[in-house]
C-alpha cells in the first residue's frame, strides 16, 4: 500500500516505522491542496490532520484512494459525501483526550475569572498592584454546556469539582448521566437565559452552523462568558463582536475561529487571496477579536498535550492496520 501522512511533526517518524517496514510510506509536513495533491495521486491511504482541506476538488486528485485515517476527532475538513460516493472509507480518532480539551476549557475560564493574563503581564513589569484585577468565583455560577458527548461530559465533571451549577442541552440527552452527575437538561432558550458561562461541545455540521448568533446572544444574561473549544463555525463571529461591544458578552475564551487555517497562515492568505474565496468580513472580525483585552484566543491547542497526541497517533496506526486487515475501526462513513 502507498500511505501518506500529511501535516506531520518529527516525533511521529519513529512510531510510524511500523508502516515504513511493510508499505511504501511517506510523511510530509505539507497539507494536501489542489496544487500539490498531484504528487500523491497514487496514494491508497492518506492520514491528514484538521488543516488539510479535503474538499471534493482536492480528493478528486487521488485516483486510488481507499482510506482517509484522520488524526482528529472532527471530520468537518473532509467531504464525507464525496467519500461515500467514491467508496472511500473515513476513520477518525473519536476519543483521545476528552479530559484534555475539558481541562483547556477551564484553563480559558480561569484565565478570564482570575484575570490571569493581565495579572501576569503586570508582575512581569514589576507592578504588583491589584487595581482592575478583581475577578469572580466559579463556585455557584451556572455553566451551560451545549453538547454532552465525550468532552461535554468531562467538562461537567470538572465543573462539579468547582461547585458550579450545570445545565445542558443536547439533541440526544442522557438522563441517567444527568441524574448521576446532578445536572439538568434544559431547552436551548433556557440554557441561554440561565447561564453565567456557556461552553460549546457539539460538532460542526449544517445544523450547528452559527448555533450562537444575534438571536441567541440576545437571549443570554448580560455579562455572560462564552467558551468555544469545538469549532469556529458554531459562532457567528460578527454577532459575537457586536455582543462584546454591547457588554452582553463580558469575555470570551476561544480555541477555535472560523477561517482558522487562513488566520494561521497570513502568508497563505496573501498568496491565495485572488484565487480562493475567503470571507473577508470574518477574517477581519477575527483580527479584531485577537486584539481585544477581554477575548482570549488559543491556537486550536486544546487537544495538544503529550498524552493526547500520542493517543491520536497510536489510534490512527491501529485504524490503518485494522483497515488493511479487513476489519476497519472507528469508521465515520
Ligand atoms: P461527541 O461526538 O462525543 O459529542 C458531541 C455531542 O454533540 C453529542 O452528544 C451529540 O448528540 C451532540 N450534538 C450533535 N449535534 C447537536 C446539535 N445540533 N445540538 C445539540 N447537540 C448536538 O464529540 P466530542 O468528542 O465531545 O467533541 C466535540 C467537538 O469538539 C468535536 O466535534 C470537535 O469539533 C471538537 N474538538 C475540538 C478539539 C480542540 O482541540 N479544540 C479537540 C477535539 C474535539
Which of 50, 72, 73 maximizes ligand 1 atoms within 8 Å of its Cβ, making it the mutation to test the pocket? Answer: 73
What is the 8-class DSSP label of residue 72? Answer: S
**pLDDT value of residue 279:** 76
Alpha-carbon distances of 289 from 106, 110, 153, 215, rounded to whole Å: 20, 19, 28, 20
Which one from 300, 306, 307, 325 is the annotated catalytic residue? Answer: 300
Kindly give the distance from the C-alpha atom of residue 211 to the centroid of ligand 1, in angstroms, as a whole number: 13
**pLDDT value of residue 276:** 57
| Residues 244, 217 share a domain | yes
Q: Which atom of ligand 1 is nearest to the CA of 207?
A: 18
Pocket of ligand 1 (CB under 6 A): 73-74, 98, 101, 147-152, 169-172, 201-204, 207-208, 229-231, 255-256, 300, 302-303
Domain membership flag for residue 331: no
**pLDDT value of residue 266:** 60
For 258-296, the DSSP string reads: TTHHHHH-HHHHHHHTTTS---HHHHHHHHHHHH-TTEE
Dihedral, 160, 161, 164, 166 alpha carbons, nearest 10? -20
Cα distance between the two ends of the chain: 21
Kindly give the distance from the C-alpha atom of residue 203 to the centroid of ligand 1, in angstroms, as a whole number: 4
Domain ranges, residue 273? 98-297
| Residues 132, 63 share a domain | no
| Residues 139, 65 share a domain | no
pLDDT in tens, the chain (333 residues): 999 999 999 999 999 999 999 999 999 999 998 888 889 999 999 999 988 989 999 999 999 999 999 999 989 999 999 999 999 999 999 988 899 999 999 999 999 999 999 999 999 999 999 999 999 999 999 999 999 999 999 999 999 999 999 999 999 999 999 999 999 999 999 999 999 999 999 999 999 999 999 999 999 999 999 999 999 999 999 999 999 999 999 999 999 999 876 776 665 555 555 455 667 888 888 889 999 999 999 999 999 999 999 999 999 999 999 999 999 999 997
Alpha-carbon distances of 212 from 59, 84, 102, 172, 291, rounded to whole Å: 31, 30, 20, 19, 21
Domain membership flag for residue 148: yes
Residue 71 annotated to the active site: no
Q: What is the domain-level CATH number for residue 229? A: 3.40.50.720
| Residues 271, 223 share a domain | yes
Residue nearest atom 42 in ligand 1 by C-alpha distance: 303
Domain count, the chain: 2
The whole-angstrom separation of Cα 38 and Cα 63 is 10
Dihedral, 178, 157, 149, 303 alpha carbons, nearest 10? 170
| Residues 267, 143 share a domain | yes
> Mapping DSSP to helix (H, G, I), strand (E, B) and coil, where does residue 6 land?
coil
| Residues 74, 48 share a domain | yes
Kindly give the distance from the C-alpha atom of residue 24 to the centroid of ligand 1, in angstroms, as a whole number: 34
| Residues 319, 264 share a domain | no
| Residues 161, 12 share a domain | no
Residue owning grid cell 484522520: 70
Residue 300 annotated to the active site: yes
Helices marked H in the chain: 17-22, 56-59, 80-86, 98-113, 116-124, 150-161, 175-181, 188-194, 214-219, 237-245, 260-264, 266-272, 280-291, 306-324
Amino acid at each position: 500500500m502507498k500511505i501518506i501522512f500529511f501535516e506531520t511533526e518529527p516525533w511521529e517518524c519513529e512510531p510510524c516505522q511500523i508502516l515504513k517496514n511493510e508499505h511504501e510510506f511517506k510523511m510530509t509536513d505539507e497539507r494536501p491542496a489542489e496544487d500539490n495533491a498531484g504528487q500523491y495521486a497514487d496514494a491508497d491511504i492518506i492520514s491528514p490532520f484538521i488543516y488539510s482541506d479535503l474538499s471534493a476538488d482536492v480528493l478528486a486528485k487521488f485516483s486510488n484512494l481507499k482510506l482517509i485515517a484522520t488524526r482528529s476527532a472532527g471530520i468537518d475538513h473532509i467531504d464525507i459525501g464525496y467519500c461515500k460516493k467514491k467508496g472511500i472509507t473515513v476513520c477518525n480518532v473519536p476519543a483521545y483526550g476528552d479530559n484534555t480539551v475539558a481541562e483547556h476549557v477551564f484553563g480559558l475560564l480561569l484565565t478570564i475569572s482570575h484575570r490571569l493574563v493581565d495579572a501576569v503581564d503586570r508582575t512581569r513589569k514589576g507592578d504588583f498592584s491589584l487595581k482592575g484585577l478583581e475577578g469572580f468565583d466559579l463556585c455557584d455560577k451556572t455553566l451551560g454546556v451545549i453538547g454532552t458527548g465525550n468532552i461535554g461530559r468531562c467538562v461537567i465533571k470538572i465543573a462539579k469539582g468547582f461547585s458550579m451549577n450545570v445545565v445542558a442541552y443536547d439533541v440526544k440527552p442522557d438522563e441517567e448521566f444527568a441524574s448521576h452527575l446532578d445536572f439538568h437538561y434544559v431547552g436551548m432558550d433556557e440554557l441561554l437565559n440561565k447561564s453565567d458561562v456557556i461552553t460549546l461541545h457539539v460538532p460542526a455540521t449544517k445544523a450547528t452552523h452559527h448555533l450562537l448568533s444575534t438571536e441567541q446572544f440576545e437571549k443570554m444574561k448580560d455579562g455572560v462568558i462564552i467558551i468555544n473549544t469545538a469549532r469556529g463555525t458554531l459562532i457567528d463571529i460578527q454577532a459575537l463582536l457586536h455582543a462584546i461591544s454591547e457588554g452582553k458578552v463580558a469575555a470570551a475564551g476561544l480555541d477555535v475561529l472560523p477561517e482558522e487555517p487562513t488566520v494561521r497562515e497570513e502568508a497563505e492568505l496573501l498568496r491565495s487571496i485572488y484565487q480562493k474565496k475567503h470571507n473577508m468580513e470574518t477574517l477581519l472580525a477575527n483580527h479584531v477579536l485577537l486584539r481585544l483585552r477581554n477575548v482570549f484566543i488559543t491556537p486550536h491547542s486544546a487537544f495538544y498535550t503529550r498524552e493526547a497526541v500520542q493517543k491520536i497517533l497510536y489510534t490512527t496506526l491501529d485504524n490503518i492496520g485494522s483497515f488493511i486487515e479487513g476489519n476497519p475501526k472507528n469508521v465515520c462513513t
